[in-house]
Chain A
Amino acid sequence: MRRALPSILSVITAIVLCFIAAVLTRDLSTAAEAFLSMVWGAIGDWPQFIETGSVASVLRPLGESATKAAILTFTGLSVTVAFRVGLFNIGAQGQLVVGALTAAVVGAQVSLPAPLHLTLCLLSAAIAGALYALLPAILKLKRGVHEVISTIMLNWVAISLVDNWLVVGPLRATATGDNSISGTDQILPTAELPRLLGEGARLDLGFVLAVVAAIGTWWFLTRFTRGFEWKAIGLSQDAARASGIDVERGFVEAMLLAGAFAGIGGAILVLGTTLKYPATLGAPWGFDGIAMSLIGQAHPIGGFVTALFFGGLRAGGTRMQLFGLHKSFPELMQGLALLFVAAKLLWERLLTRRAKK
């Protein structure tokens, strides 16, 4: 809990600053109303529920939040597991793009019974993401290329290849009837993530997968010897190697898992929300994963909680537009919070270093 304190304080500071900015550009009552509506948009519109008794006014926002949180959780986990072995995976975006496209193609082109089809989509997206993350790992081991450089560049390779060519070229949906034809073909219903609360809310299986993945990752990292090996590698490659730990293998495994998580994040976006690879992905989910991981103190559960929080704010943020505030306020908060977390880390390090000597 103590570890979480810097993050919590950073997030609060960011929200306060954004609120002040909103007050300055509008006025106090508008800003207050806008922020309050963002909260209701995140956790459900309880006043309206009490007033009208409409269940949808609570479930719809919650479902929206959970869907966004699920994707953020996966990209956050992607950054976190790489972090564990001391690698900085900036490439979650590229891995997510590759995973999303794979899910969209498999979802649209293969026909199988529902559970199998969905599983195949998720699995192939995970494998695609993992293979795409394997590239920087191999480049690092064979050629000594720093993973930050290679993952950043591979992001643009993926985005250019997929968004600017495949999706508008060879894989572009064939126009049928009156359907709009941006993005790839619609996925088959058998590949869609089942909605857990019926059509009223968008809460789908993706959220459950995210919870399982976060807890599973935490369990693996803290309870298993392999998780311990990763931690040792992340803290000291030399000592790990001298202890008989295969450092190179650890790098490869962690990057594979990181890529798989980002790939599944992309699959969930396609199979649950967009139902095809769209012309634009909407948000830089992969890059946001870096923020989730860092604000979550590189802890799987911490990243999950962060994703819940910012997923909620984003879902609610659209409502701010009604009050004349831009919907990107939640992203602004996230950016500021990340900035403060980074500064907090710096502070902590300075303080502990002073105390140690």
Chain B
Amino acid sequence: MCCTGAAVRQRQVCTEVNRFQGPVIQLKNISKRFGGVPALDDVSLDLNAGERVALIGENGAGKSSLMNVLYGLYQPDSGEVCFDGKRVVVKTPAEALARGVGMVHQHFTLVPTLTVTENVVLGHEPTRFGRLDLERARREVDATCAKFGFQLDTSAVVRTLSVGSQQKVEIVKALHRGVKTLILDEPTAVLTPQEADELFAVTRKLSDEGLAVVLISHKLKEVFAFSTRIAVMRRGKKVAEVKPAETTPDAVAALMIGEGSGTVTPSPSGRGVGVREQTLSLTNVSAEGLKPLTLALRGGEILGIAGVDGNGQRELAEVLTGLREFKGTLTFETKPFTSKEWTPRVARESGVTHIPEDRLKRAIISDLSVEENASLGRHRSPPFAKGARIDFAARRTHTAKLLETHDVRPREPQLRVGGLSGGNQQKLVVGRELDSSPKVVVVVQPTRGLDIAAVAAVRERLREQRDRGCAVLLVSLDLDEVLELSDRVLVMYGGALNGEFAREKFDERALGQHMLGARDA
């Protein structure tokens, strides 16, 4: 008898659920710790249909962790996830997808050699008599694109698409599975401003169709452009929930950073020691992707390289750091070097350090510990080594100091670096590269993916280096960043230099024309 009673009660619950009109998804009192470090501390968040919610916060504030709980990638230590008012344990992303939650990560999960259609249906391919029915797949994917207003060539091979289009494919992939809630994890980090605008137009359309869209971001501007509601997170807690119409970017920034943790206004571009003689120069140097060019880096100066992505900036940085073969002569201080002589090791030992763009590929090794990564590049010399042997004690104390100075969290030298958030990894790299009193710093996109406070800190460090007489070469795709920091700007177009601007003569318009090759040097 009691069993039937339970069944009846269950049925009642079910009918109630069907009538449920509240939030589609409720995250209730979620807490999650990683090895004693709290990542989420009693966070609650509701998501309603037709809403665009922005989750904003600094690196490691818990934005991604919270959404990873919803997407089934993390299991919360306490708290519950409710779908349509009913408690659910989401164990895997597959379960989350089945319940209508989709997530688009910063790193795409597309197969570059397959077409858009093939990527979208991958894992759920329509079949005919057991064979893949590509025609039907294509019709269905086209229909999805049309429904949400995406303009995509579904027969194009993904590899040939721009980053912005690839991201659209990711979104279509989620929509094609019929998701009702779409999470975008820092989607604009890889997009140009135009592509970002397009993305926000698309998300608006999605929420009009009744989807709940979540944007994880630390950029105030886009959060205000995007959302109908802003949830602010700080150190694992949700500190506020505001409507963009009822607040100001400054107020939200204050909430993100917390009171009393200092201002983030950039210091004026003052001169320290003044421009010294040239330290590193190239004379008629050419390389793959680089036409013959001549330039000089001078101590006490930040030289900015402006340009649209893929115009030789990366190649230039690689030549300077010894990572790319070149023809011509490179002169460091007064000594000339050929390509063969200018190895990464020689460059480093001469005092040229490198903050590369792709930190996971070039700057850190995920499977090594924080302290091992902190020693990379200087692992042969004190304090990291004593003769041929590793100096474990000194390495630990030095790393601990580095973590403290550069505010890398958590401050555990023996943690695996892969376990750190992207922002903290970058802080570690910046700290390591600037720690050795370099003579030349080659930095590429140093603030990509960092939050406001970290961006300000990195820029301040670069100015400090300049002021102590170091030559800084800054490559950034963010023109504002180049203009804010640089004392002199060189424009690159088509693998060659196309214009030079001194700080007094900065003119965004003229720079832009040079960047697009509309005007010659």
Which residues of A are in contact with B by a Cβ distance under 8 Å? 223-226, 228-229, 231-232, 235-236, 238-246, 354, 356-357
Known: A235-B368, A242-B362, A242-B377. 16 other contacts (CB 8 A): A224-B388, A225-B390, A229-B379, A231-B368, A232-B365, A232-B372, A232-B376, A235-B367, A238-B362, A239-B361, A239-B363, A239-B365, A242-B356, A243-B377, A246-B345, A354-B92
What A residues does B321 contact at CB under 8 A?
Answer: 242
A-B contact pairs, 22 of them (CB 8 A): A223-B390, A224-B389, A228-B372, A228-B390, A231-B368, A232-B368, A236-B365, A239-B361, A239-B364, A239-B365, A242-B344, A242-B354, A242-B356, A242-B377, A243-B348, A243-B377, A244-B322, A244-B343, A244-B346, A244-B349, A357-B74, A357-B93
**In the complex, what residues of A have CB within 8 A of residue B68's CB?**
357
Number of interface residues of B (CB under 8 A): 37
A224 CB contact (under 8 Å) in B345, B368, B390: B390
Q: Which residues of A contact B376 (CB under 8 A)?
A: 232, 239, 243
Q: Does B516 contact A (CB under 8 A)?
A: no
B residues in contact (CB < 8 Å) with A: 68, 73-74, 92-93, 321-323, 343-349, 354, 356, 361-368, 372, 375-377, 379-380, 384-385, 388-390, 418
**Which residues of the other chain, A, contact B365 by a CB distance below 8 angstroms?**
232, 235-236, 239-240
Distance in angstroms from B428 CB to nearest chain A CB is 13
Docked complex Cα distance between A241 and B376 (Å): 10
Residue of A nearest to B74 (CB): A357
Closest A residue to B361 by CB, please name it. A238
- A356 partner residues in chain B, CB cutoff 8 A: 418
* A224, A235, A238, A246 interface centre (most CB from chain B within 10 Å): A238
What is the chain A residue whose CB lies nearest that of B416? A356
Question: What's the Cα separation between A246 and B321 when bound, in Å?
Answer: 14
- Chain B residues with Cβ below 8 Å from A238 are 361-362
In the bound complex, residues from chain A placing their C-beta under 8 Å from that of B74 are: 357
Bound Cα distance from A235 to B379, whole angstroms: 16
Given A228-B379, A231-B368, A357-B68; A242-B389 close (CB under 8 Å): no
Minimum CB–CB distance from A232 to chain B (whole Å) comes to 6
Given A223-B390, A228-B372, A244-B345, check contact A239 B379 (CB 8 Å). Answer: no
B370 to A: closest C-beta gap in Å: 14
Residues of B within 8 A of A246 (CB): 343, 345
Which residues of B are found within 8 Å of A239, using beta-carbon distances?
Answer: 361-365, 376
**Taking CB as reference atom, which chain B residue is nearest A226?**
B388
Q: By the criterion CB–CB under 8 Å, are A241 and B348 in contact?
A: no
Asked if residues A225 and B379 are in contact (CB atoms below 8 Å), the reply is yes
* A residues in contact with B377, CB < 8 Å: 242-244
Q: Determine which of B323, B346, B366, B385 lies in contact with A225 in the assembled complex, contact meaning CB atoms within 8 Å.
A: B385
A357 to B94, CA, bound (A): 13
Q: Are B323 and A242 in contact (CB under 8 A)?
A: yes
Q: How far is the CB of B419 from chain A (nearest CB, A)?
A: 8
- Tell me if B368 and A357 are in contact (CB < 8 A): no
- Complex interface: chain B residues within 8 A of A232 (CB): 365, 368, 372, 376
Q: How far is the CA of A132 from the CA of B302 in the complex (A)?
A: 51
In whole Å, how far is A354's beta carbon from the nearest beta carbon of chain B? 8
What A residues does B362 contact at CB under 8 A? 238-239, 242
Chain A residues near B346: list those with CB within 8 A. Answer: 244
Chain A residues with CB below 8 A from B322, complex form: 244
**A225 and B389 contact, Cβ closer than 8 Å, known pairs A236-B365, A239-B365, A242-B321:** yes
Per the bound structure, the CA–CA distance linking A235 and B364 in Å amounts to 10
Which residues of chain A are within 8 angstroms of B92 by Cβ–Cβ distance?
A: 354
Q: State A239–B344 Cα separation when bound (angstroms).
A: 11
Q: How far apart sit A356 and B417, CA to CA, in the bound complex (Å)?
A: 13
Q: Distance in Å from the Cβ of B420 to the closest Cβ of chain A?
A: 12
Q: Which residues of B contact A226 (CB under 8 A)?
A: 388
Interchain CB contact under 8 A, A225 and B372: no
Most chain-B Cβ atoms within 10 A of its Cβ — which of A228, A229, A241, A244? A244
Give the interface centre of A231, A232, A239 by most chain B CB atoms within 10 Å. Answer: A239
Q: How far, in Å, is A286 (CB) from chain B's closest CB?
A: 29
- Measured in the bound complex, the distance between the Cα atoms of B377 and A228 in whole Å is 11
Complex: A357 Cα to B92 Cα, angstroms: 10
Q: In whole angstroms, how far apart are the Cα atoms of A225 and B378 in the complex? A: 10
Q: B377 CB to closest chain A CB, in angstroms?
A: 4
Q: Is the CB–CB distance between A243 and B388 below 8 Å?
A: no
Chain A neighbourhood of B345, CB < 8 A: 244-246
- Contact call B390/A242, Cβ cutoff below 8 A: no
Give the shortest distance, in Å, between A297 (CB) and chain B (any CB).
Answer: 14
Bound state CA distance, A138 and B293, in angstroms?
35
How many angstroms between the C-alpha atoms of A226 and B321 in the bound complex? 22
Chain B residues near A225 (CB, 8 Å)? 379-380, 384-385, 388-390
